[in-house]
């Protein structure tokens, strides 16, 4: 994945980090997932829950009373945008409560935890501190990392192969017609290049729409450009295989150069400067949207997870790697938005997620990293209830659908609460790939508004969630021993 120059820079950075760690240890926690997987809501809730500490019964250091305080701290990295925590929390909890703006690029935020260690040494030395640097970045950017080892011809071939799959064939038609009309050995023309690249981006973006919900769509910056919005580095597209001569100024050669520049200027620096320095990782997965869109979307999600996981430098840290080359020693896969289902379906959701990540997780475990999967809701927007339907009691969820959400012939106004029977997930996780399975087309998921504001007995804001405390315990609990 990386060359020796990158490795040297990574090692130097790690040595600097380690010297700083002697004073206050730092844990860099990566939060990723594809667009709308729930990263922004997860991080906002995570920070709020940790600072308030009033709703995390399964986070042991807090439950055991050893956490003295957790507060926001200035970010050590001046060159990276700060995660807009206050703005996002205000969106979720303000009068017209709405979901915050989603992740568009990398951002960071530092929390400092002061705690009393449980070890005998800790009792002698007194309270200790640890920094937790939360790094939020689009999962789409990870789908770019495998490109480092692929030539333009290989990437192009794969893009055309993907586009011929049944789920993508129709959506790809416009772009493929343009691509097949290009004469690769002809002199390069900027207007044609822009047209082709825009058509390719439009195809990727259509694939991502709710009805298709496809996931494996590199290059990641085409859908999630971050600070490269409108940049010429993003104006290329794949071309069909070419055998004959391709002069230096030809269409094909210019596209190839742009692809190589993208790898060099965009992909490699992201890997080196951010990704290679992460200690622990949570991968958020919107399993329900893929299930809703059908087996092709689930299959695509599975490939995207495998691609994402193949990029992780996973493994347990030995003395050498701890000094020079950080490895990710824990990975948590979390299926988000579990509040769209009744709790009696959460186990099935977890089993489906386990099934989707099985190979990727096995590989990480083989390298020595600990992995776990769970179904969670960062901010729980629904309650549970029961309704009688044709003599049968159905387990429902109750919440306020967002303005404009619709089901059957009803469109909701964002004010009225409803009880919804979301349907049942299949008992056998492998049936999510079966186009004839009974759950297909039976599931009903609506976007709900965030919950009405709740407070604890001290009048402090309390955000409801599902299993966020278990996620936090897995990710950082052992660092507060
Ligand atoms: P990002 O693109 O990964 O940053 O995704 P966001 O965190 O912005 O989440 C995308 C959308 O998913 C939000 O606007 C919400 O509609 C929904 N969402 C995220 N987390 C939850 C959750 O815990 N419960 C519910 N009901 N919806 C959620």
Distance 340 CA to ligand 1 centre (A): 11
Distance 382 CA to ligand 1 centre (A): 13
| Contact (Cβ atoms closer than 8 angstroms) between residue 382 and residue 397 | yes
pLDDT at 321 over 60: no
CATH 3.40.50.300 domain position(s) in the chain:
4-137+274-380+465-480
Atom 1 in ligand 1: which residue has the minimum CA distance?
36
The ligand 1 atom at the shortest distance from the C-alpha of residue 139 is: 3
Distance 37 CA to ligand 1 centre (A): 6
Q: What is the mean pLDDT of residues 241-269?
A: 90
Atom 19 in ligand 1: which residue has the minimum CA distance?
38
The ligand 1 atom at the shortest distance from the C-alpha of residue 448 is: 26
- What is the Cα–Cα distance from 235 to 222, expressed in whole angstroms? 9
Q: What are phi and psi of 321, to 5 degrees?
A: -65, -35
Looking at residue 324, its pLDDT comes to 47
User: 230-254: string of b/e by CB count within 10 Å (b at 16+)?
Assistant: eeeebbbbbbeebeeebeeebbbbb
Q: What pLDDT, in 10s, does the model give residues 146-183?
A: 888 899 999 999 999 999 999 999 999 999 999 999 98
Distance 343 CA to ligand 1 centre (A): 19
Distance 78 CA to ligand 1 centre (A): 28
Distance 101 CA to ligand 1 centre (A): 9
**Tokens 């007995």 belong to residue:** 457
Most confident of 16-25, 37-46, 183-192: 37-46
The ligand 1 atom at the shortest distance from the C-alpha of residue 466 is: 23
pLDDT at 469 over 60: yes
Angle (CA) 294-239-214 rounded to 5° is: 15
- What is the Cα–Cα distance from 175 to 163, expressed in whole angstroms? 10
For the chain, give the mean pLDDT. 89
Looking at residue 24, its pLDDT comes to 84
pLDDT at 458 over 60: yes
| 4-137+274-380+465-480 has CATH 3.40.50.970 classification | no
| HEC readout, 311-370 | HCCECCCCHHHHHHCCCECEEEEEECCHHHCCHHHHHHHHHHHHHHHHHHHHHHHHCCCE
Using most ligand atoms within 8 A of CB, pick from 36, 134, 467 the residue to mutate for ligand 1: 36
Atom 28 in ligand 1: which residue has the minimum CA distance?
337
% of the chain beyond a pLDDT of 90: 62
Length of the chain (residues): 481
Locate 73 and state its tokens.
């701290």
- What is the Cα–Cα distance from 271 to 259, expressed in whole angstroms? 17
Most confident of 24-33, 117-126, 141-150, 263-272: 24-33
Looking at residue 326, its pLDDT comes to 62
Q: How confident is the model at residue 14 (pLDDT cuts 50, 70, 90)?
A: low
Radius of gyration of the chain (CA): 24
| Contact (Cβ atoms closer than 8 angstroms) between residue 206 and residue 212 | yes
Distance 288 CA to ligand 1 centre (A): 12
Atom 2 in ligand 1: which residue has the minimum CA distance?
36
pLDDT at 16 over 70: no
Q: What is the mean pLDDT of residues 344-353?
A: 95
- What is the Cα–Cα distance from 215 to 34, expressed in whole angstroms? 7
Locate 174 and state its tokens.
């416009």
DSSP character at residue 456: -
Atom 13 in ligand 1: which residue has the minimum CA distance?
99
Q: What are phi and psi of 18, to 5 degrees?
A: -70, -35
Question: CA nearest 293: which of 206, 187, 195?
Answer: 206
Q: What is the mean pLDDT of residues 279-292?
A: 93
DSSP character at residue 401: B
Q: What is the pTM of this model?
A: 0.90
Q: What pLDDT, in 10s, does the model give residues 359-393?
A: 888 888 888 889 999 999 999 999 999 988 888 88
- What is the Cα–Cα distance from 152 to 156, expressed in whole angstroms? 6
- What is the Cα–Cα distance from 90 to 98, expressed in whole angstroms? 9
Q: What is the mean pLDDT of residues 190-211?
A: 93
**Tokens 């100024």 belong to residue:** 249
The ligand 1 atom at the shortest distance from the C-alpha of residue 99 is: 14
Ligand 1 is surrounded, with C-beta below 6 A, by 33, 35-41, 99, 102-103, 336-337, 339-340, 377-379, 381, 447-448
Using most ligand atoms within 8 A of CB, pick from 42, 87, 99, 376 the residue to mutate for ligand 1: 99
Looking at residue 123, its pLDDT comes to 75
Atom 11 in ligand 1: which residue has the minimum CA distance?
36
Query: Which residues make Cβ contacts (< 8 Å) with residue 310, sequence separation at least 6?
Result: 146, 360, 363
Angle (CA) 236-242-247 rounded to 5° is: 75
The ligand 1 atom at the shortest distance from the C-alpha of residue 284 is: 3
Picking from 198-202, 287-291, 432-436, 455-459, which range would have the lowest pLDDT averaged per residue? 432-436
Distance 136 CA to ligand 1 centre (A): 14
Query: Which residues make Cβ contacts (< 8 Å) with residue 69, sequence separation at least 6?
Result: 113, 114
CA dist 184 → 201, 240, 245, 258, 337 (Å): 20, 9, 9, 14, 46
Q: How confident is the model at residue 304 (pLDDT cuts 50, 70, 90)?
A: confident
- Give the chain's count of helices (H) and strands (E): 17, 12
Q: What pLDDT, in 10s, does the model give residues 48-105?
A: 999 999 999 999 999 999 999 999 999 888 889 999 999 999 999 999 999 999 999 9
* 101: number of Cβ within 10 Å: 11
Looking at residue 320, its pLDDT comes to 47
Question: CA nearest 369: which of 379, 360, 356?
Answer: 360
The ligand 1 atom at the shortest distance from the C-alpha of residue 286 is: 12
N- to C-terminal Cα separation, the chain? 34
Residue of higher predicted confidence among 302 and 308: 302
């Amino acid at each position: 994945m990386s060359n020796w120059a990158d490795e040297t820079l990574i090692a130097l950075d790690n040595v600097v980090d380690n010297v700083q760690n002697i004073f206050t240890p730092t844990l860099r926690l990566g939060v990723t997932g594809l667009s709308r997987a729930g990263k922004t809501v997860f991080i906002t809730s995570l920070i709020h829950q940790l600072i308030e500490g009033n709703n995390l019964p399964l986070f042991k250091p807090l439950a055991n009373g050893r956490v003295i305080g957790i507060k926001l701290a200035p970010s050590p990295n001046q060159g990276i945008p700060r995660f807009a925590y206050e703005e996002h929390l205000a969106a979720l909890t303000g009068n017209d409560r709405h979901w915050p703006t989603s992740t568009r690029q990398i951002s960071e935020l530092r929390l400092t935890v002061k705690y009393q260690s449980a070890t005998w040494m800790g009792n002698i030395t007194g309270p200790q501190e640890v920094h937790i640097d939360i790094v939020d970045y689009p999962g789409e950017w990870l789908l770019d990392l495998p490109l480092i080892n692929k030539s333009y011809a290989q990437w192009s071939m794969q893009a055309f192969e993907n586009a011929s799959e049944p789920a993508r064939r129709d959506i790809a038609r416009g772009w493929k017609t343009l691509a097949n009309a290009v004469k690769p050995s002809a002199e390069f023309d900027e207007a044609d290049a822009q047209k082709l690249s825009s058509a390719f981006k439009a195809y990727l973006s259509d694939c991502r729409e709710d009805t298709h919900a496809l996931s494996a769509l590199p290059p990641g910056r085409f859908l999630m450009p971050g600070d490269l919005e409108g940049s010429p580095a993003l104006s290329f597209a794949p071309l069909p295989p070419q055998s004959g001569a391709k002069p230096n100024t030809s269409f094909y050669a210019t596209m190839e150069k742009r692809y190589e520049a993208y790898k060099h200027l965009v992909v490699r620096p992201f890997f080196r400067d951010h990704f290679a320095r992460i200690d622990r990782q949570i991968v958020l997965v919107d399993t329900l949207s893929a299930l809703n869109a059908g087996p092709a979307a689930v299959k695509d999600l599975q490939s995207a997870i495998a691609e994402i996981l193949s990029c992780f430098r996973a493994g347990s840290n030995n003395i050498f790697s701890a000094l020079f080359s950080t490895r990710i020693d824990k990975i948590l896969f979390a299926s988000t938005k579990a509040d769209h289902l009744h709790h009696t379906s959460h186990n099935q959701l977890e089993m489906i997620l386990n099934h989707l990540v099985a190979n990727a997780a096995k590989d990480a475990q083989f390298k020595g990293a600990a992995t776990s999967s769970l179904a969670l809701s960062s901010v729980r927007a629904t309650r549970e209830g029961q309704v009688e339907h044709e003599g049968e009691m159905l387990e429902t969820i109750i919440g306020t659908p967002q303005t404009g959400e619709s089901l059957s012939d009803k469109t909701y106004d964002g004010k009225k609460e409803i009880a919804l029977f979301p349907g049942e997930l299949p008992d056998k996780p492998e049936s999510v790939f079966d186009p004839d399975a009974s759950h297909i087309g039976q599931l009903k998921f609506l976007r709900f508004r965030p919950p009405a504001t709740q407070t604890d007995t001290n009048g402090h804001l309390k955000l409801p969630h599902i299993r966020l405390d278990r996620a936090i315990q897995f990710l950082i609990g052992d660092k507060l021993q």
